[in-house]
Structure 1
Amino acid sequence: MIDIIALRRELHQYPELGFTEFRTATKVVLMLTALGYRVTYGKDAIDDMSRRGLPQPEVLEDAYQRAIREGADPAIVEHMRGGFTAVVAELEGIQEGPTTAFRFDMDALPIRESEMNKHTPQAGDFRSTHEGIMHACAHDGHTSIGLALAERLSDRQFAGKVRLLFQPAEEGVRGAYAMVEKGMLEQVDRLFCMHLGTDVPSGHVKGASAGFLATTKLEAHFTGVSSHAGASPEEGRNALLGAATAMLNIHALPRFSTADTRINVGILEGGTGANIIAEHARMVIETRSTKEETNLELERRVRQILEHSAAMHELSVTIEIVGGAIPIRCDMELAALAVKQAEGISGIRHAEAISDGAALGSEDASYMIKRVQEQGGLATYMIVGSDLPAPHHHPEFDIDEAVLAPAVEWLERLARNVQ
C-alpha cells in the first residue's frame, strides 16, 4: 500500500520544472503500469507543436540526463526526451458507465527552498536536492494524491472508466493546452480538477472555484544593430531602447470598465556592455482579465505596442505565446456531488459548494474543463484546504500532510459514485 506521505516527501526532494519532469513522470508511469492501468505517455500524450514556453534544448537535455542519474528508467524516459512529460492512464470498471477523469499537475517552481530549521522539509531531511528549484505550490502533493487514488481504484469496483491525467508545466499555464490538442480529454463525461491550499484551512473542502482569470503570456524578442555607443551611435539600432519604449507604453494601457484587468512586464533584459548599442532585447509580458474577450483585447493592444515600438526604433520583433488560460466555469451539479461525497470522511470537517473569493490567478486546467463541457460533459475545479506556514510560491511554503489521505478518499468516492 502506498505511503502517501513518504511518496510526497520523495517527490518533494526531486522537484522538476515544467516539461523537465522526467524523473517524476517516469515514476508515475512505472507505478500506474504496475497497478494494471493502460498508460499513455511521451509524444502519445501531448501535442508537440502546441506546447507553450518550452525550455531551451540544452535545458531539456540537462534535466533528462539528471533524471537518469537519479534513477529514472532509461527505457521509459527515452520516450519523454525533449520535454514530452505528460502521462495519461485509464482503467475500465466492472460495469458500463461514464468516463470520469482526474487531473494532477507535476511541475515545480524556480525558487530556492528555505534552509531554516523551522521549515519542515529542512528539519525532516526532505528539502529539495535541486538547488534553485522547489515544490512551492503543492504539486508534489497533487501527484501523490493521484497515485494513491490510482492504487485505490485498481480493484476496478466502479462503473465506466477512470482516466488519470498527470500534466506537466502548469506553472506559467503551459501544459494543459497541448494535452487537450492531443485529444486526451476526448470522450470524458466528468472531469475533476483540484488544488491543495489556496487560503482554505485544513479540514475544509470546496466543490468548485471561481475567480480564475483569463491570461496570455507573451515573449517578445527585439533585434537591432550593434554599434559603438561613443564613436558611431547613429549606426546602431538599439533593441533595448525599443523594448523599454514598449514596456512603458504597455504599463500605460488603460484599465477596462467592462472587466477587471491586470498587466505586467515581468522580464526585460538585453545588451552586452555600456559602450555597445544593444542588438538584442527580450521581454516577457502577461495580460489577465476576468473575461476572455477582454484579455484578448489587451493582448491585441500589447502586440500593437510591441510592433510599433520596434518600428519606431527601426527594429524587428518576434512575438510568441508562451502560456495561456481562460476563465473557469464550474458545473454546480458536480460541486454538489463533491459536497455530498465529503460527508463522513475523517479529516474533513466542512464542505461547501463554491469558493468565490478574490481572483486566484490563472489555471490552464481551464482548457481541459472547457473541452469536456464542449462535448456535453461536466467539470469542476475543487479545493482541498491545507494550513500553510507561508504563501504559495514562497521559499518556506509547505503543506499540511494530514490532508493528503482525506483528499484521496474524497476523490475515490467521486470515482465510485459519479452519476
Structure 2
Amino acid sequence: MKPLSDHVSARLPQLQQWRRDFHHYAESGWLEFRTATFVAEELHKLGYQLKLGREVIDADARMGLPDEAVLKQQEARALQQGALPQWISHFSGGFCGIVATLETGRPGPVMGFRVDMDALDLNESQADDHLPQREGFASCNAGMMHACGHDGHTTIGLGLASVLMAMKEQLSGTIKLIFQPAEEGVRGAKAMVAAGVVDDVDRFTAIHIGTGVPAGEVVCGSGSFLATTKLDVHFTGVGAHAGGRPEEGRNALLAAAQATLALHGLTQHSGGVARVNVGVLQAGTGRNVVPDCALLKVETRGVTNQVNDDIYQQALRVIAGAAAMYGVEQRVSLMGAARSCTPTQPWVDFIHQQADALGIFDSVVNRKAQAAGSEDATYMMERVKQRGGQASYVIFGCELAAGHHNAKFDFDERVMPDAITLLATLALNQAQYGGSR
C-alpha cells in the first residue's frame, strides 16, 4: 500500500501546472467561470459527487455581485479562454461554487475542507524580477490578479481531492470539499452557508497560505478575525447652478462629507476593538454644479459580532442623519460581511498532534491571533459550531515575494504539498480524534 508521501510526491508536477494555470487566468469574485469549470471537470474525473452553482449558493444571500452586463461579459471571456462548455451553464449568473462529496461507505464523521478560488481586482506586475511574469504565467486578465494565494488554495483543494480518492479504502465517513467564490470583500461564504452546505459537517477546516507566518511553520488554529460589514452608501440630492440658484440644490457631497467625519468618530466601544473606515468618497459633476450625487464605500469592524453589529447600527443612524441634515435621499447596500469566530480547541489540538507527528514542519503552533483582518470562512465555522461540531482555520507559512494584495505577490509553491499532506492526514487519521463530535 503506497504511503501518503508517495501519493503527494507523484502529483507535484500536476500541482504546479494547475496553480500556474489558475494564476494566469485570474478571475475575481463571482466571476470565477473558467476556474470553476476546470475544478468541476477534475473532480468529476476523480469520481466525486458534485453539487454546483445554485445548488450550493443561495441567490438572495449573495453580496457585492457585479452587474448583469459584467457577469455576461466575463462568462463570454471565460469561454474564449478555454472554460469548459459542458460545465459553464451551472455557474452562469455568477454562481461559481462547488461542493464535492466522497462517501466512503464506512461509518464516520462528515469532514469539511474549504478553499477559495477568487482573485483580486489588481493589475499584476510586469517587472522582469516578478517570477510569474518571467516564467510566463502572470495574469492575462487586466485588473485581475491572484495576489492573495487563492490560486494556491484551489490547487491544494484539487490535490487533496486527488490524494483522498486514491486512498479511499483507508478513509471512513464522508469528505466534503468546498470550493468557494468571492472571498475577497467577504462576499461568498454567507451564501453557501445559507444554502446549507455545512449543515451536516462535524469537523471543518479552512486554510490560508502566507499571511506573515514564517516558512515552515503551521498555525493549527488562527483566530481573532474581526467581524465586519462592507457598505456602499449612495446619497441623491438635487442639482442646481452653484452661482445662479444654489438655494434650489440639495448638496449630496456635503451630506457625504458630514457622514464621513461622523463615521470616523464611531470607534469607541467598551466591548473591545472597533473600526470604521470610509475608503472612497466620490461626488459631483462640475465646479459650478451643486452635487446631486455622492458615493461612500465604508466598512465597519469589531472584535466580536456584537461590537461590529453595534457599530454598524450606529453607522446607519449617522448616514440617515447626514442625509436628513442636507435634505437628500440615502440608500445603503450591503456589499460584504464576515463574522468573528474562534476555532474549537479540541480540533485545534488534534491538528497540532497530527502536524507534529508528520515531522515535515519546522514549527507547529497551536494558536496564534490573526492581524486585525476579516475572513468569511467564519460564517462556515460559526454554523458548524452552532450545530455542535468542531472547526478551525489553519495557516501554512511560506516565503512570499511581496505582501498580500501587492502587485508583486507570489508564493513558494513548496507550501502546497505540505498543506495537502496535513489535510489528508486529518482525514486518514480522524478515528484518532478523541474530542467531542
Normalised to the residue count of structure 1, the TM-score between the two structures is 0.97
* Residues 1:127 and 2:138 are matched in the alignment: yes
Displacement after TM superposition at 1:343 (Å): 3.4
Question: For residues 41 and 13 of structure 1, what CA distance do their matches in structure 2 show?
Answer: 24
Q: How do 1:9-408 residues align onto structure 2 when only pairs under 5 Å count?
A: 9-155=20-166, 156-157=168-169, 158-343=171-356, 345=358, 347-356=360-369, 359-408=371-420
Q: Deviations over 1:6-40 (max 9, x none)?
A: 11111000111110011111111111111100111
Unaligned runs of at least 5 residues, structure 2: 1-9
| 2:149 maps to amino acid | A
User: Does the 8 A contact of 2:267 with 2:311 survive in 1?
Assistant: no
Displacement after TM superposition at 1:351 (Å): 1.2
| 1:242 maps to amino acid | A
Displacement after TM superposition at 1:100 (Å): 0.2
Question: For residues 196 and 393 of structure 1, what CA distance do their matches in structure 2 show?
Answer: 13
Question: For residues 240 and 80 of structure 1, what CA distance do their matches in structure 2 show?
Answer: 39
Question: For residues 266 and 314 of structure 2, what CA distance do their matches in structure 1 show?
Answer: 8
Displacement after TM superposition at 1:386 (Å): 0.7
Question: For residues 255 and 189 of structure 1, what CA distance do their matches in structure 2 show?
Answer: 37
Question: For residues 372 and 326 of structure 2, what CA distance do their matches in structure 1 show?
Answer: 38
Partner SS state of residue 206, structure 1: strand
Displacement after TM superposition at 1:79 (Å): 2.1
Question: For residues 100 and 179 of structure 2, what CA distance do their matches in structure 1 show?
Answer: 8
The number of equivalent residue pairs is 418
Displacement after TM superposition at 1:392 (Å): 0.7
Q: Deviations over 1:297-344 (max 9, x none)?
A: 111111011001111111111112111111121011111111222235
| 2:183 maps to amino acid | E
Question: For residues 104 and 312 of structure 1, what CA distance do their matches in structure 2 show?
Answer: 46
Q: Deviations over 1:214-268 (max 9, x none)?
A: 1111111111111222222111112122111111111122422330111100111
User: Does the 8 A contact of 2:267 with 2:276 survive in 1?
Assistant: no
Q: Deviations over 1:30-83 (max 9, x none)?
A: 111111001111111100010011111111111111101111122321221111
RMSD of Structure 2 on Structure 1 (CA) = 1.3
Match of 1:411 in 2: 423
Question: For residues 94 and 349 of structure 1, what CA distance do their matches in structure 2 show?
Answer: 36
Normalised to the residue count of structure 2, the TM-score between the two structures is 0.93
User: Does the 8 A contact of 2:31 with 2:94 survive in 1?
Assistant: yes
Question: For residues 74 and 228 of structure 1, what CA distance do their matches in structure 2 show?
Answer: 53
